[in-house]
């Protein structure tokens, strides 16, 4: 078991920094950071986590979509480390969907995102990967990429009225 890491919360300046590119992907310290980030996201019922959220300002995030109490309808996928990630193409279509964030506990927001994106990243073995992502997984990627640029989902809502508490959100999705 990797150790659980402390999650930086809204107001912590590290969440507003531009993260640095990763150069030594296969280093043991980076591999340990990947393992601990996966454990931390899983333990917190997250579907993704970015390195700045665990106070490491590097261009690295984990996408780990799976159904859990915070996201009952999430598709199941293996937790994947995405390093130096980029969006290389995007759909014209933008869709709004509910997001939360481990760094902004207790709040959900209705956030517009591209419905489909083509992405590029290095995997944890240092191999360049190209993928097309759609819907919920595309949304996670865009949310996590924002973290690497100091942007939080609350910055992306179109109106303050698109912010709700976790409690009201749970009521909304169960109605």
Q: Which residues bind Zn ion (CB under 5 A)?
A: 101
* SS3 label, residue 166: helix
Catalytic choice (144, 158, 166, 168): 144
Nearer to Zn ion, 104 or 117 (CB): 104
Nearer to Zn ion, 126 or 142 (CB): 142
CB of 138 to Zn ion, least distance (A): 15
- For 166, residues 6+ apart whose C-beta sits below 8 A from its C-beta are 100, 105, 106, 107, 108
| Alpha carbons 121 and 102: distance in angstroms, whole number | 23
The yes-or-no answer on residue 144 being catalytic is yes
Instruction: Report the residue closest to Zn ion, judged by CB.
Output: 101
Find out whether 119 and 87 touch, Cβ atoms under 8 Å: yes
DSSP alpha helix (H) spans, the chain:
28-43, 135-148, 153-156, 166-174
- For 131, residues 6+ apart whose C-beta sits below 8 A from its C-beta are 118, 119
CB of 101 to Zn ion, least distance (A): 3
Active site members:
144
């Amino acid at each position: 078991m990797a150790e659980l890491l402390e999650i930086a919360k809204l107001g912590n300046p590290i969440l507003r920094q531009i993260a640095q590119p990763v150069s030594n992907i296969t280093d043991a310290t980076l591999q340990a950071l990947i393992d601990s980030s996966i454990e931390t996201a899983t333990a917190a019922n997250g579907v993704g986590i970015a390195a700045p959220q665990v106070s490491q300002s590097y261009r690295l995030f984990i996408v780990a979509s799976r159904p859990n109490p915070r996201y009952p309808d999430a598709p199941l996928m293996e937790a994947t480390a995405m390093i130096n990630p980029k969006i290389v193409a995007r759909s014209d279509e933008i869709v709004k969907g509910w997001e939360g964030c481990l760094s902004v506990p207790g709040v959900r927001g209705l956030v517009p995102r591209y419905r489909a994106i083509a992405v590029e990243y290095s995997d944890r073995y240092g191999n360049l990967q190209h993928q097309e992502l759609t819907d919920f997984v595309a949304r996670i990627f865009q949310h996590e990429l924002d973290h690497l640029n100091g942007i939080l989902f609350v910055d992306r809502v179109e109106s303050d009225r698109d912010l709700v508490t976790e409690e009201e959100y749970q009521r909304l999705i169960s109605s």
